[in-house]
Amino acid sequence: MEPYLVWIVVGIALVVAELVSGTFYLLVLGVASFVAAAVAWGQGPFMLQILVAGGIAIAGVLWIRAHRRRNATPDMPSLDVGQRVTLDSWVNRNDRLARVVYRDALWDAHVEGDVGGEPGEVLFIRAVEGSTLRVSRQKPA
């Protein structure tokens, strides 16, 4: 089989795989394969085919990463931050782990700062880490 046909088959396979994944990385690799196929069709040596495909692939991947970084939206702050919770009980007072009532459900919480620690005490959410709340007596600004 001619080398340019191998490059074309690889390029088509990569483009089809890209249609399934939707990341654009495989599309860049497919385009690099097509350009290498053009070099092979023009009787370019195999090492030149590899260098062209590799150079285009690296440049394309770097371009995609830069484009994604430029257009990335910052994480939206949690809507729970600043909301009131009520201390229900301590799980481990020394490690500052407690259960708090928030939205009529019990949540695990890390208690920060100086807190009396009495059940029913009102605290405020400072951060959300997965399903664990970080709470303190002071309401965040």
- Among candidate residues 32, 24, 26, the one with its CA nearest the CA of residue 8: 32
Per-residue pLDDT reduced to its tens digit, 126-141:
999 988 999 999 888 7
Residue identified by tokens 């208690």 is 111
Per-residue pLDDT reduced to its tens digit, 45-72:
999 999 999 999 999 999 999 999 998 8
pLDDT at residue 36, as a whole number: 97
Residues of the chain with CATH 2.40.50.140: 84-136
Interacting residues of 53 by C-beta distance below 8 A, sequence separation 6+: 7, 32, 33, 35, 36
On whether the pTM is more than 0.85, the answer is no
Domain spanning 84-136 has what CATH number?
A: 2.40.50.140
Give CA separation, 53 vs 25, 33, 62, 66, in Å.
Answer: 14, 6, 14, 20
